[in-house]
Amino acid sequence: MSRKPIIGISGNFIIDRGGMFPGYKRAYVNDDYVRAVAMAGGIPYIIPIVSDESIVIEQMSNVDALILSGGYDVNPLIYGEEPRQKLGAILPERDKFDIWLLEEACKMNKPVLGICRGIQIMNAAFGGSINQDLSYDENCYIKHFQETSPSTAGHTVEILEGSKLHSILGSKITTNSFHHQTLNRIAEGFTVTAKAKDGTVEAIEKDGENFVLGIQWHPEMMSSSSQEMLHIFGNLVKNAKKW
């Protein structure tokens, strides 16, 4: 009997603001990612942030696919810009870690799914840039940081025919939305495969046969109530089995 594929989920830091240990770092990831992977038939593993690249190589060697999870803003110095007034909190330690994970996954031809911050670090790592706040994107008029339940679909996303995402979701879907940054210049070697009606980039895919997909919304938060969103994770698991 073949084993289920192991899906690594990039971890994050949460820093205690009070209690017994103010300033104390804790390694974590939102449970929605874990649950979505398990529901899709994979074995979820949280990959903790480390500062040793040799350990990152071993971490990626021990999983069959990678999810780049959400979290802090990406440091704009990565894509050659100075921080603007509305930039949120950054964590350069995590930027370096996620880029190492992504680079190793691509070297090993392992499937990658980037979610929210994940699509942004994916774009930045390969030479693209980011609008540091929605207000800096002159075409943005849709509410991209909703104030309703995370499982509620907030706006429409139109998907490019012939893309990997199109084969999963079809030509149109409604998604939740919790981001204050958007993709600007798209990295060379990637194709925009989904947009909101205001032109905001909602998905990119790395050119070629390998499954390297970034999406701007949070399908893990909708996966318990939406089979369509769960299919995204199912497709990642299916590609991990091929690997």
| Strand 212-215 versus strand 112-115 pairing type | parallel
Distance, in Å, from the CA atom of 152 to the CA atom of 221, rounded to the nearest integer, reads: 9
Catalytic residue, chosen from 144, 155, 179, 218, is 218
What lies within 8 Å, CB to CB, of 196 at 6+ separation is: 142, 144, 155, 156, 157, 158, 202
Q: Collapsing DSSP states into helix, strand and coil, what is residue 191?
A: strand
Name the active-site residue from 104, 202, 205, 220.
220
Catalytic hit among 104, 106, 116, 155? 116
CB atoms inside a 10 Å sphere around CB 59: 21
218 is catalytic: yes
| 179 tagged catalytic | no
Say if CB 187 and CB 127 are below 8 A apart: yes
Is residue 202 flagged as an active site residue? no
Q: Are 218 and 46 in contact (CB under 8 A)?
A: no
177, 219 Cβ separation under 8 angstroms: no
Q: Are 44 and 29 in contact (CB under 8 A)?
A: no
Report CA-CA distances (Å) from 170 to 52, 173, 184.
Answer: 41, 8, 25
Q: What residues are annotated to the active site?
A: 116, 218, 220
